[in-house]
Structure 1
Amino acid sequence: MAKFTPPPLDGLKRRIDRHRLEKAGARSGMFVRETFLMSRQEAREKAREWFAEFPKAAYWTEVESWRQLDNDRIEFTMRRLPTAD
């Protein structure tokens, strides 16, 4: 019985990588999201900037997710609507 040899996956891997790069530049859903990695104090200041520039009542601004990393670093994602219409 012949042993099955899978086809090379280089083309598929390149296409997947290209798709991920294209998708990374596009907006997912109706929200604008931005992820930051900062010290705890810088993270607080950045969140305050977002809430000052894009008020929660108009833009639905919120800290979508966050996690604490080593050395008191915070990774967090801010989310808001693109306009206040």
Structure 2
Amino acid sequence: MVSKVPRTHFPKPPLDGLRKQLKESRGEATRQRGAFIRESFRLPRLAAREKAKEWFEQYPKAAYWTEIESWYERPGDIIEFTMRRLPNAD
């Protein structure tokens, strides 16, 4: 028979640092991580498609390595996505 240890013996870790990190990352729409600049959007489907086209026109893939890094379909036909590009063309 296995005895159960009450959860009170295992204190919860402090989450202040994680809360701060999440708050900062969600507050920045544009951020640079590594060599790339990223910008996140949350738009209706048609507006999301137009925003992506705008990025590819302004920052051509061949020069800036522009790409849609990630995208998710959210309820209500909302698309949440992150665009990524190099800061300048060679």
Q: TM-score range by the shorter chain?
A: 0.7 to 0.9
Could you tell me how far apart the structure 1 residues matched to 2:52 and 2:83 are? 7
Could you tell me how far apart the structure 2 residues matched to 1:13 and 1:66 are? 28
- RMSD in angstroms over aligned alpha carbons? 2.5
Q: Confirm or deny that 1:83 pairs with 2:51.
A: no
Gapped runs of 5+ residues in structure 1?
none
Q: Which has the higher contact order (CA 8 A, sep 6+)?
A: 1
Percentage identity across paired residues of the two chains: 52
Gapped runs of 5+ residues in structure 2?
1-8
Residue type at the aligned position of 1:38? L
Query: What's the offset of the Cα at 1:27?
Result: 2.0
Query: What's the offset of the Cα at 1:28?
Result: 1.1
Query: What's the offset of the Cα at 1:14?
Result: 5.0
Could you tell me how far apart the structure 2 residues matched to 1:72 and 1:16 are? 30
**Scaled by the length of structure 1, what TM-score is found?**
0.74
Q: Which residue among 63, 66, 71 is the counterpart of 1:66? A: 71
| Equivalent residue, structure 1, for 2:40 | 35
Q: SS in structure 2 opposite 1:43?
A: helix
Give the number of the structure whose residues are more often helix, by fraction.
1
* Moved beyond 3 Å, runs of 4+: 12-18, 23-26
